[in-house]
Amino acid sequence: MIFPTEHNDQGEFKRQEYQFRDLVTRNCDSGYPAESDRYHLYVSLACPWAHRAIIMRKLKRLEDVIGMTVVDPIRDERGWAFRDGPGFSKDPVNGFAFLSEAYTASGPDYDDRVTVPVLWDKKTHRIVSNADDDIMRVLNSEFDDFTDSDLDFYPEALRDEIDMVNDLVYPHINNGVYRAGFASTQTAYERAVYGLFDALDQLEERLSNQRYLIGNQQTEADWRLFTTLIRFDAVYHGHFKCNKRRIVDYPNLDSYLRDLYQHDGIAETVNFDHIKRHYYVTHDDINPTQIVPVGPDIDFDAPQGRDRFG
């Protein structure tokens, strides 16, 4: 069983809680003031949670403000590792061999699973946050003094609707694919899968008359969903047995996914080699042969026509 401490007696996967939830703030009231070249992201190109932070850093043009190091996509019993390879590297900040070293440096008694993303403070030498939701919002607003981007993906006027959509997407889709893939009983698996496809059906209908999840304006809700959709047909459909339908079988979700993928700079944040090798090699309980499939062949650059919504 994958992550046995994160399952209940019914065989359901129950994701662990985040242990580091401090915030970087623009007004310095958190103890972690927004500063250029003070903070560093540790991420995996394979992980959808880390992908959210990578995308927000890209969209807000913070590459010169916050550094980033990518871990090896192959994770073993020692956890995420820093090695030199295609698209990943050794740790240039602390010289850590494994990301677990950042966790023990920040909390010597930490014994939960080591996860990405991590927002690291180079001044205090500790983790600020390992909560992807918090990191997304910090990058969205708290470093605005250091970027020429005025984009706001969590505008105050839309927050209630964004939160409502997130409350559907996170448990049933983002985490839903994991609840299906990591289920250890048939009942737990079917409960997760039926909830997943019911939520996808709702979004397919929602996207029939608007470009994005919240009208015709991009918000964090879109990018939270994107990181699951982009992995769905390549990984979750087969590896996690989420095989009632593929995203390409949903006309609106499919065109919406390609619309987001074609947004400036987003394609370069997507690495299918890392994604597929991570899931199919790391999860040897699910895929004992560790054979990585060669497909599917999907043209994410194909015309999508969603600009008709404005």
Catalytic residue among 39, 42, 178, 261: 178
Give yes or no for a contact between 204 and 253, defined as CB atoms under 8 angstroms apart. Answer: yes
Residue 19 identity (one-letter amino acid): Q
Using DSSP, state whether 75 is helix, strand or coil.
coil
CA-to-CA separations, 35 to 24, 55, 94, 148, in angstroms, rounded: 9, 20, 19, 15
Residue 310, both tokens: 């404005």
Of 264, 261, 263, the C-alpha closest to 272 is: 261
**Angle made by CA atoms 296, 300, 306, in degrees to the nearest 5:** 135
Q: In terms of DSSP bridges, do strands 39-43 and 67-70 run parallel, antiparallel, or are they unpaired?
A: parallel
Residues 39, 47, 256, 279: which is the catalytic one? 47
> Does the active-site annotation cover 47?
yes
CB 275 within 8 A of CB 282: no
Q: Is-contact 199 176, C-beta < 8 A? A: yes
Residue with tokens 């006027």: 157
User: What positions carry a catalytic annotation?
Assistant: 47, 178
